[in-house]
Amino acid sequence: MVWTRPTNSAFPSVWHTFRAKDVDSDQLITYRVQDLTEDRFEDMVQHFLDNFIEEEPICVSKGVAKDATAREAAIKLWRKVLREKMTLVCYKEGSDEIIGANIVTVKTSDEVYTIDILKSAEQGDVRVIVEYVTKQFDALEHYGVDHRMVAYGLTVDRRYRGRGIATEILKARVPMCKTLGIKLAAHPFSALGSQKAASNAGYRTDYEITYDDLAKLGPKYTLLNIPSKSIKLMSLFIE
């Protein structure tokens, strides 16, 4: 059964606000994390092209950004998930500049985590790695739920990093999940920065494998020049 956002939930909603330094000064300003509206979908696609596939460890190792077929597959995937109206975007007050974002969706126990739209060899390898890590720990059974929030990328614009914004975006999931009836967020975190942000937001590590050990599974699992030591399946149970 495919999960869909309840029609009676207010959209767009602001899920979280926080204070952090502005990009050009030490002045504290207010940021907000809210639902991404349809008029910003293509801006979000560009944001992910600029800030995700150029840096996410698996995409970088597999050369996704440099392969036209892989890039197009990623764009199609993002557009498909954006239409579900579950993506979180961070703005600063008085601006519509995309500071950061988290493309998320909800998967039920009888759904495959990824989407068969990933056709290229590079994107196929990304899918294989994510699916392998996901299957090593049955989060649904462990936490006693039949659906969970999963992610297709967490980003912060390069100029705004070092302000804890990724952590705050992950914190925004909690009120969102409570409102929408979601009790679990659980999925792989591949980069050291996102792992630290998740830990700071209260996520626990349920499974971890080093990239060296992952490579022992075969060529599709081999990642070169990875700054992170491991990939982690991290979870947050929402009371």
Give pLDDT tens digits along the chain (239 positions): 789 999 999 999 999 999 999 998 889 999 999 999 999 999 999 999 999 999 999 999 888 888 888 898 889 999 999 999 999 999 999 999 999 999 999 999 866 554 444 455 666 788 889 999 999 999 999 999 999 999 999 999 999 999 999 999 999 999 999 999 999 999 999 999 999 999 999 999 999 999 999 999 999 999 988 888 999 999 999 99
Q: What pLDDT score does 191 carry?
A: 95
The rounded distance, in Å, linking the Cα atoms of 159 and 188 is: 25
Q: What pLDDT score does 121 carry?
A: 61
The answer to whether residues 87 and 34 touch, using CB atoms and an 8 Å cutoff, is: no
Amino acid identity of 211? Y
Q: What pLDDT score does 48 carry?
A: 97
The rounded distance, in Å, linking the Cα atoms of 5 and 82 is: 12
pTM of structure: 0.94
Residue 205 in tokens? 């590590």
Query: What DSSP letter does each residue of 150-203 carry, written as one string?
Result: EEEEEEE-GGGTTSSHHHHHHHHHHHHHHHHT--EEEEEE-SHHHHHHHHHTT-
Q: Which domains are assigned to the chain?
A: 14-237 (3.40.630.30)
The answer to whether residues 74 and 130 touch, using CB atoms and an 8 Å cutoff, is: no
